Structure 1
């Protein structure tokens, strides 16, 4: 049950709205490069592949160059993007329906640690499966780490959203599947729900 003082709902994307599997990235890069998965995972961590792309330190082109250096390959942009996007699955119809219903009562925001390549693919999934043009059609405003150049769980990231949206932390409920991200939001007074598998957002609003 959501408290009556909540006016704003702030959602994470991957693992909350969108079904994902981070392990697919290492598997896909391994198949393309014929390097083993432990090596790929180590390289991803050492090069901070996700973080540097997500906070806009690298352009998409620089990210792809880094991947080829990392794998010692000459993959095309399309091959890299397909492997990078392999972690993105689907958005179930019932979650779309729930967001539309919630928007009648609350102001909805999206805050995601993400990158331009992934957002383009998520929007393609929305168009293909739900005839919805983009995530912007489901939320009052979207905040992407690569655009604001701030990432969860940094307090600065949450403060940016609160200030830009003109909303109060005590009136805002943040839903994320990461315990670290939840803790970061709690520290500045945002109300939170830690979504843990197998629960989905439907369970929160029953």
Structure 2
């Protein structure tokens, strides 16, 4: 684990899930198994090949259409509420220490959020944010929040990085990108960003970096 020297950067782009918010994909896999999908991993892969998840993350299909796509993997239709509960099971806590850190860094640097996410997850974690921390959204911690489902692009596509840089007026050479997915790190570096691969799978958090 290495420390980030804030003096080297004027701007920081943060990923959300796995970086700010804790995630556990196995909980969603387990939840779908309990709904009657014992081979969820195989079905998950098959659905991914149909671009269901990517399209949902780009906002190209609605939550209703996404649920319909998920239901095609089941023999019997599953209620929307149960599907959403299983889909949201991966969303864990948002540690207050990380929010405090973001507030501290924002006093000196420009922070933006860039997340591959979907409308079902946004509704869930914003609801939890309000319940646990009293905030309706993440605008109190970032200059701008970019959700893939609302900009029609997703990481690691180069166009989403260019979009953020252009919208914010950021110089890539002065901007750090932090993400826990290696493919996103590679995509960021292709457009000239400094990128740090946060090893959340090894217990590393942003608290270790600053």
In which range does the TM-score fall when normalised by the shorter chain?
A: over 0.9
Per-residue deviation, 1:71 = 1.7
**CA shift at 1:164, angstroms?**
1.0
Aligned counterpart, 2:83:
80
Query: What is the aligned partner in structure 2 of residue 23 from structure 1?
Result: 26
The 5 Å alignment of 1:79-118 reads: 79-118=82-121
Q: In 2, Cα distance between the equivalents of 1:20 and 1:155?
A: 25
TM-score using structure 1 length: 0.93
Aligned residues of 2:116 and 2:149 also touching (Cα < 8 A): yes
Contact persistence 1:25–1:83 (CA under 8 A): yes
Q: How far apart are residue 34 of structure 1 and its match?
A: 4.3
Aligned to 2:15: 12
Distance in 2, Cα, partners of 1:54 & 1:113: 6
Q: 1:46-57 counterparts in 2 under 5 A?
A: 46-57=49-60
Question: Match for 2:158 among 139, 155, 159?
Answer: 155
> Which moved further from structure 2: 114-123 or 31-40?
31-40
How far the C-alpha of 1:3 sits from its partner, in A, is 4.9
2:40 matches 1:37: yes
**Which of 134, 137, 143 lines up with 1:134 in the alignment?**
137
TM-score when scaled to structure 2? 0.92
8 Å CA contact retained: 1:43, 1:70: no
Unaligned runs of 5+ in 2: none
The answer to whether structure 1 residue 203 and structure 2 residue 208 are counterparts is yes
Is the CA contact 2:57–2:117 (under 8 Å) kept in the aligned structure 1?
yes
Secondary structure at 1:137's aligned position in 2?
Answer: coil
- For residue 131 of structure 1, report the CA deviation from its aligned partner: 1.6
CA RMSD, 1 decimal: 1.5
The CA distance in 1 between the partners of 2:13 and 2:133, in whole Å, is: 22
Rate the CA distance shift 1:189–1:38 in 2: closer, same or farther, 3 A: closer
Deviation, 1:43, is: 3.2
Residue 20 of structure 1 aligns to a residue in which SS? coil
**Count of aligned pairs:** 205
Q: 1:81 to 1:57 in 2, by over 3 A?
A: same
Provide the rounded CA distance (Å) in 2 between the counterparts of 1:38 and 1:184: 26
- Structure 1: gaps of 5 or more residues: none
Tell me if structure 2 keeps the 8 A contact 1:29–1:40.
no
